[in-house]
Structure 1
Amino acid sequence: MSKVKYYYDSETLSYRRVERRKRYYFFKTLLFMVSSAAVGIACYFFADQFYDSPQYKRAVNQNAYLENQLENAQKEIDQLAAVIVDVEQRDNTIYRIYFDANPISDEQRNAGFGGVNRYREFEGYDSSKKVITLRKSLDKLKKRVAIQSKSLDEIAALAETKEELLASIPAIQPVRNQDLTRMASGYGYRTDPFNKTRKFHYGMDFTAPRGTPVFATGDGVVTRADANSSGYGNHIRIDHGFGYVSLYAHLRRRKPYNVRKGQRVKRGDIIGYVGSTGRSQAPHLHYEVFKDGERINPINFYYGNLSPEEFNELLKKSQQENISLD
């Protein structure tokens, strides 16, 4: 109950009751409501600094969840990267070597991305550093996977031709062991039979009687069967593909060839016969192997028809510095 207030009226010399107008009560009520609202709002913001609201708690929990997911994603990417490293090592040290393909360098596999900032859209947030690190790891991983996928495509293509490659490589001795008189001279420096000077001998000489069969050492196409190359006399050249070419020189004069230019031959086919034409001192077969246009040592290609013991014996004889026959 509100108190009754009085005031002293000097004209009547008496106390009179104070009469309140309705407007007074209206403004008083309005002031109370405004003050209450202001106090409530102040309390809300003040309390929010010391007590977590439900919305704030949800935001904190969501942020913690996202941070945890970023860390887990980074760990998974690191694990996948380790798997890719293992596949890359197998690719370089086993698959590509087996199929005679050059290994892929680490610089090529791990190359970064140059140019403009690819991660600008992720900047300016509390988790920007983690997000950008994650994106960089993911992009590098995707690039390494793409390079490895391309490498495996190449290996698959090489595998399809591997059987053809194995059949084409000149992998047997061009004259049978039982037909040999001796292995006269090997690949390396030898004494020239004509001027007695020391010079490099680019093939292997197999001594055998005239008319001894000469065999194609791998599948291929005959590219030459003539006597139009200086020093070789009657000779045959076979293109085996894959960069390999074999040469058979000093074939006999009479009916030296069992094949013709352009003819396809198989490993083991008789292509000609031992003789002593051209720059030759005695009946023998001079045999050479080319890889990508360069002469290489034929001794490395006799695994197709020699036992280990026979190969070691042939290797020993081929390394002796004697007088060559051509």
Structure 2
Amino acid sequence: MAKVKYYYDPEKLAFHKIKTKKGKKIGVVVLFLVAAGLFGFLCFVALLNTPFFETPKDRLQAREIEYMKIQYELLNRKTALIEEALSSVEDRDNNVYRTYFNSTPIPEEQRKAGFGGVNRYKGLEGYNNSQLVTGTTKRLDVLAKELVIQSKSLDEIAKLAKDKEKLLEAIPAIQPVKNEDLKMMASGFGYRTDPFTKVRKFHAGMDFSSRTGTLVYATGDGVVEKADNTASGYGNHIVIRHGYGYQTLYGHLSKYKVRAGQKVKRGDVIGYVGSTGRSEAPHLHYEVHRNGEVVNPLNFYYGNISAKEYILISKLANQENQSLD
């Protein structure tokens, strides 16, 4: 029960009861209710932002986020397995397939290169799990790029496989002079004594000593690029372009049997041994070039000699004697 309040009237020397207006009472009640409601709302909002109070929606979102994390972890594990399998394919591609087909391996930095320029993952930043999402996305992007590179590489290998027969026919795989026609293996590939200056210098081919007129054979299929005496020191010489990066040179010939632009097969007679140009005695100077660099012809005589003959020629060719040109 509400307390009754009085006020003192000095004129009448008496106490009178204070009567509260009905509208004022209602206003007080309404103000109290509004204040109470506002206070309750603020308390409710505060509780929502504390870890001690979760709504059904919060619990659902939390479960979804946890499920997402699990899915990303599983995706990363699967990605690791794919990366491992792809790495194995890349290794075979570089060290088996491309070696077999004499093709240049794809550099590791090209396979693993990232993406330069604008930050393509900016839209994934600023979230609680940005590191997980961004890391996985980058990993998948790099993997996708590696797969594209490997796919193109396998397409190239498939083409090389189709051309393998032509490649094998093009590689200079026999001696340019038959063993029965040889007097001796005069000089091999490497540093030798120059017959004219007596100075030790690099000998870029092999010298096959034989009588003038001995048949000289094309060591692989190809097209005659030159058959003239324009190159200094080689005298009458022939250059055959075999394709696939291979080229052979036959120097100091007495005469030719082919002309520039003519197609030849391995084993075709292309000229005859002589002593033209810078030569001390009748012999054939023979060079093999691969991708623009001179290489040791001794590594290519697997097409028409036995292992025993190869060992003998190898011993003779590796002696540091005097060359004939």
SS in 2 for 1:210: coil
Q: How far, CA to CA, are the matches of 1:299 and 1:140 in structure 2? A: 44
Change (3 A) 1:281 1:52: closer
Indicate yes or no: 2:219 matched with 1:257.
Answer: no
1:83 maps to: 85
Change (3 A) 1:150 1:251: same
Change (3 A) 1:316 1:133: same
- Cα displacement (A) at 1:102: 2.9
SS in 2 for 1:249: strand
Indicate yes or no: 2:234 matched with 1:235.
Answer: no
Change (3 A) 1:218 1:131: same
Q: Which deviations, in whole Å up to 9, do the C-alpha atoms of 1:223-243 show, x marking residues without a partner?
A: 222334333333222121233
1:103 maps to: 105
Change (3 A) 1:86 1:197: closer
2:20 maps to: none
- Cα displacement (A) at 1:163: 2.4
Q: How far, CA to CA, are the matches of 2:53 and 2:251 in structure 1? A: 99
- Cα displacement (A) at 1:318: 0.7
Q: How far, CA to CA, are the matches of 1:229 and 1:55 in structure 2? A: 87
* Matched residue type, 2:287: E
2:246 maps to: 244
Find 2:152's aligned residue among 137, 150, 173. 150
Indicate yes or no: 2:282 matched with 1:283.
Answer: yes
SS in 1 for 2:163: helix
1:69 maps to: 71
Change (3 A) 1:52 1:213: same
Q: Which deviations, in whole Å up to 9, do the C-alpha atoms of 1:44-67 show, x marking residues without a partner?
A: x69999786655554443333233
Change (3 A) 1:116 1:194: closer
* TM-score, structure 2 as length reference: 0.77
When structure 1 is superposed on structure 2, of 227-236 and 178-187 the one drifting more is: 227-236
Q: How far, CA to CA, are the matches of 1:64 and 1:245 in structure 2? A: 64
Q: How far, CA to CA, are the matches of 2:119 and 2:231 in structure 1? A: 63
Percent identity of equivalent pairs: 56
Find 2:119's aligned residue among 117, 120, 126. 117
- Cα displacement (A) at 1:205: 1.4
Q: Which deviations, in whole Å up to 9, do the C-alpha atoms of 1:69-115 show, x marking residues without a partner?
A: 22222222222222222222222222223333333333332233334
2:224 maps to: 222
Q: How far, CA to CA, are the matches of 2:136 and 2:232 in structure 1? A: 67
Number of aligned residues: 292
Q: How far, CA to CA, are the matches of 1:66 and 1:284 in structure 2? A: 78
Aligned pairs (5 A) from 1:182-201: 182-201=184-203
1:304 maps to: 303
1:138 maps to: 140
- Cα displacement (A) at 1:316: 0.6
2:210 maps to: 208
Change (3 A) 1:65 1:189: closer
Q: How far, CA to CA, are the matches of 2:322 and 2:119 in structure 1? A: 70
Q: How far, CA to CA, are the matches of 2:137 and 2:323 in structure 1? A: 67
Change (3 A) 1:51 1:155: same
Q: How far, CA to CA, are the matches of 2:250 and 2:238 in structure 1? A: 5
* Matched residue type, 2:113: A
2:318 maps to: 319
- Cα displacement (A) at 1:143: 1.9
- Cα displacement (A) at 1:281: 2.8
* Matched residue type, 2:186: A
Change (3 A) 1:258 1:127: same
Indicate yes or no: 2:166 matched with 1:164.
Answer: yes
Q: How far, CA to CA, are the matches of 1:229 and 1:124 in structure 2? A: 70
Q: How far, CA to CA, are the matches of 1:126 and 1:189 in structure 2? A: 68
Change (3 A) 1:172 1:124: same
Change (3 A) 1:205 1:85: same
Q: How far, CA to CA, are the matches of 1:78 and 1:281 in structure 2? A: 66
Change (3 A) 1:296 1:119: closer
* TM-score, structure 1 as length reference: 0.77
- Cα displacement (A) at 1:266: 0.1
Indicate yes or no: 2:269 matched with 1:270.
Answer: yes
CA RMSD of aligned residues (A): 3.2
- Cα displacement (A) at 1:160: 3.2
